Structure 1
């Protein structure tokens, strides 16, 4: 009986009284993450200072442009809703064609508005950040039962539906993502666009895909979010309708949606 009571007290202390390891501490248990910090943290610290924040106060947002094969990294300080573009990473390889991912095995890279939902420090592709595909929009629009999954931003230079950056660039991005999560950023947005959706870019898509009106309608909806972010430089506030369309809310200067 005394033994059971002692075990219970020990479990209680471990659960509620002893300090828990932070997210960053958990990540640093892995050799690849430690090596990434050793190689890139000093320079990244200087980079984010030039953007008006610090590693200890930074939040991040990512934007992928499939046709241009670019992944933009935007950062902001915790006290400001406005993001500044910090870096543009070249995407090493792509698969599929323009258009969203709609089923397992289609080799497509998703298009839409997502978040990083998992960190993998022991990935088969060095380090990787998981995307919450399929989201509610994908599920509402796709006619297929199996939409696939396991979409990542990762190291290496091969892909079937993911975004590979090469190992060195992935190490750098992984450090920044760990820091943002450690700073309390629960939502790390990732926006996927078929191309840059400015006026000229969208006109090119309209000319090229005029025989696919449903696809153009989907891209027109993405363009709403694209244009709103580019005008405000603030994280998008949106809901997903029953038909899968994104509905965006304007943001105030405070960064809070009305």
Structure 2
């Protein structure tokens, strides 16, 4: 192998080693036993029992007042759900799935003759675009900064309850 090829491979390896170092953080602190979201305050808290571990400013759906009722209404759900999946390859910088819709959500939407929608997440900023903050801009998700999402992704495990209040 030539010297130039070795240097090229070494450069690629060094470059790739830094790619995942900040994206997948580790966390060894107290367990996050619950997530609490106050839509009216635009705040989300990671809790260990009754102790706040971290708090975050959040952006919500583009029409945040009131509970999500149907697909496309721009509202963020209200109620108790669970973190039910993780997506390291999200269109947004990392994401944690919220178990919306539950059976009550489905029944409410069907009574209106519509779909309840789905794919509600806690996520970072859109990939390949400018960060969006300071306004409610999602389709119903809960958005934070990319750096915050990396911490949340490390701290929160699947099946963690999330309570979303008006």
Give the TM interval when normalised to the shorter protein: 0.7 to 0.9
Note the 1:9-158 alignment, pairs <5 A.
32=20, 34-37=21-24, 40-41=25-26, 44-45=27-28, 48=29, 53=30, 58-75=31-48, 82-142=49-109, 143=111, 144-156=113-125, 157=132, 158=137
1:60 Cα offset (Å): 2.9
Runs of at least 5 residues in structure 2 that lack an aligned partner in the other structure:
1-18, 126-131
C-alpha separation in 1, matches of 2:36 and 2:85: 17
Aligned residues: 136
Runs of at least 5 residues in structure 1 that lack an aligned partner in the other structure:
1-30, 76-81, 182-186, 195-258
Task: Say what the alpha-carbon RMSD is for the aligned residues.
Answer: 1.9
Task: Say which structure is richer in helix.
Answer: 1
C-alpha separation in 1, matches of 2:99 and 2:43: 20
For residue 138 of structure 2, what is the aligned residue in structure 1? Answer: 159
For residue 175 of structure 1, what is the aligned residue in structure 2? Answer: 154
- Scaled by the length of structure 2, the TM-score of the pair is 0.73
C-alpha separation in 1, matches of 2:60 and 2:140: 10
1:93 Cα offset (Å): 4.9
For residue 9 of structure 1, what is the aligned residue in structure 2? Answer: none
1:87 Cα offset (Å): 1.1
- Structure 1 pair 93/121, CA: closer, same or farther in 2 (3 Å)? same
- Scaled by the length of structure 1, the TM-score of the pair is 0.49
1:145 Cα offset (Å): 3.2
> CA contact under 8 A between 1:36 and 1:175: conserved in structure 2?
no
1:98 Cα offset (Å): 1.5
- Structure 1 pair 92/140, CA: closer, same or farther in 2 (3 Å)? closer
C-alpha separation in 1, matches of 2:32 and 2:60: 27
- Structure 1 pair 146/192, CA: closer, same or farther in 2 (3 Å)? same
CA displacement, residues 126-159 of structure 1 (integer Å, 9 cap, x when unaligned): 1000111111121233323311111110001341
Higher relative contact order (CA 8 A, sep 6+): 2
Q: Which runs of 4+ in 1 moved over 6 A?
A: none
> CA contact under 8 A between 1:126 and 1:167: conserved in structure 2?
yes
